[in-house]
Structures are given as structure tokens and as C-alpha cells.
Amino acid sequence: MNLLLYGAPGSGKGTQANMLRKHFGIPHVATGDMLRAEIQAGTPLGRQAQPILAAGQYVSDDIMIGMIRNRLHQPDCASGFIMDGFPRTVPQAKALDSLMKALGKPLGRVIYLKVETDELLRRLSGRLVCPLCQRTYPPATASCEADGGALVQREDDKVEAVKPRIEIYLQKTVPVLDHYRGEGLVSEIDGRGTIEEISRQVLAAVNGTVTPRGRTA
């Protein structure tokens, strides 16, 4: 099963991907997490990417497409994956189409988590992350459930980076949704509600059912 989580910054992609990862036992492929791991390790790519992420801008399509190509060829992706944060531009979406075709892996469903801007801003300003494993948590969470690590604010959740992140999403990433709508792959989920309520709708959409608050396009 190859799934794609789509939505604005703070819409809950990482949160729901973590649920799907546990539920289906397939890897969570998150380009933002991969870039932050490069930054933490101080690699040449990490050094190049750090100021781009801090400013809320996008890393180049060439770099991101190469990164995903390498990741999807790894053996743990053979039985499926949950993609989060890619594709973010129409050229990335077209490159993913070609890659999936070459790998013989059709995309099963695109889950669109639709959340209003006010709610995105509220969530991002309070979000905590584990610097060790990258999992995200709501405000006031004490420590990471996986490794007990102390939680921190993400550098790009500071106010000066949040506005450009939302602007670039509207400009470059919204057209990606039309790309997938055209293929009839999109399930739109109203992102209001508790994490557990959204998880139920996401699972229903993945399992191909229509729920009262979500609709399968």
C-alpha cells in the first residue's frame, strides 16, 4: 500500500503518518524529517538546506527528487510506504509519477488534511518535536513517547518562518492537489476535530469507505 499525505504546514501529516505507520507496519517517508536529519548530522546537504528550512523556503526540486528516488529503492519500502512532505511542487509530482511507474508501485490514495489557516497558526506555534526521532507532539507534552527525549520547538515554527511556509504552500503546493484530483486519487478530510477523530477518518478513507465528515473524491 503506497499512501501520500497532503496538507499545509501544521495540518497533521506527521501525526497521522505516525498512526498509519503503526497501523500498517510500513515506513513513514518524510522529506522534512530526512532534511532535518541531514542538518543534525552536519552533512554537506544539511549545511546547504539549513538556511532554506529556517527561512521557510523550499529545497530545489532536483535535490528532493534525488532524495526520494534513493529512499524508495530501499528494501523497507518494498511492501509500501506513507509519504509525507513530497511532492510539494508540480515537477516533483510528475517525477514521482515516473518513479512509481518505473518501480511498478501504483499510488493507492492521497489523503488531504484540510485545515483553516487560523488553526494551522495555532498548532504550529505550540508544536513540540523530539530532536532525536522527529516525532511531533501537542503543546505541554512532557517528553517523547518513543525515547523519553526532551522536546523542543522546531526552528521553522518560529513566527518569522511560519508565514513564508504558508505562502509558498499556497503558491507551489496547492497545484499538486489538482494533479492528483485529476487522477481521482484524493480523499479530502476535514482536519477539524481531535487527533483520534481525524485518525478514524483517515483509516476509513484508506480502507475505501466514505465517512460523514470526509468525502472521497
Residues in contact with ligand AP5 by CB under 6 A are 7, 9-15, 31-32, 35, 52-53, 56-59, 64, 85-86, 88, 92, 123, 127, 136-138, 156, 165, 193-195, 198
Q: Which does 15 bind (CB under 5 to 8 A by kind): Mg ion, ligand AP5, none?
A: ligand AP5
In angstroms, the first-to-last Cα distance of the chain is 19
Binding residues for Mg ion (CB under 5 A): 14
CA–CA dist 203, 189 (Å, integer): 11
* Cell numbers linked to 179: 494533479
Q: Is the Cβ of residue 58 or residue 185 nearer to ligand AP5 in the bound state?
A: 58
Position of minimal CB gap to Mg ion: 14
Residues with a catalytic annotation lie at 13, 88, 127, 154, 165
CA–CA dist 197, 199 (Å, integer): 5
Q: How many CA atoms lie within 13 A of 144 on its CB side?
A: 16
Q: Which does 53 bind (CB under 5 to 8 A by kind): Mg ion, ligand AP5, none?
A: ligand AP5
Residue 166 CB, shortest distance to Mg ion, in Å, is 14
Find out whether 97 and 67 touch, Cβ atoms under 8 Å: no
Residue 163 CB, shortest distance to ligand AP5, in Å, is 12
DSSP state of 216: E
Residue 84 CB, shortest distance to ligand AP5, in Å, is 6
Residue 183 CB, shortest distance to ligand AP5, in Å, is 19
Find out whether 88 and 64 touch, Cβ atoms under 8 Å: yes
Find out whether 139 and 126 touch, Cβ atoms under 8 Å: yes
CA–CA dist 22, 184 (Å, integer): 26
Q: Assign 134 to helix, strand or coil.
A: coil
Sequence-ordered list of residues with C-beta below 8 angstroms from that of 131, at least 6 positions apart, any chain: 40, 149, 152
Q: Is the Cβ of residue 129 or residue 204 nearer to Mg ion in the bound state?
A: 129
Position of minimal CB gap to ligand AP5: 32
Residue 191 CB, shortest distance to ligand AP5, in Å, is 6
Q: Is the Cβ of residue 57 or residue 216 nearer to ligand AP5 in the bound state?
A: 57
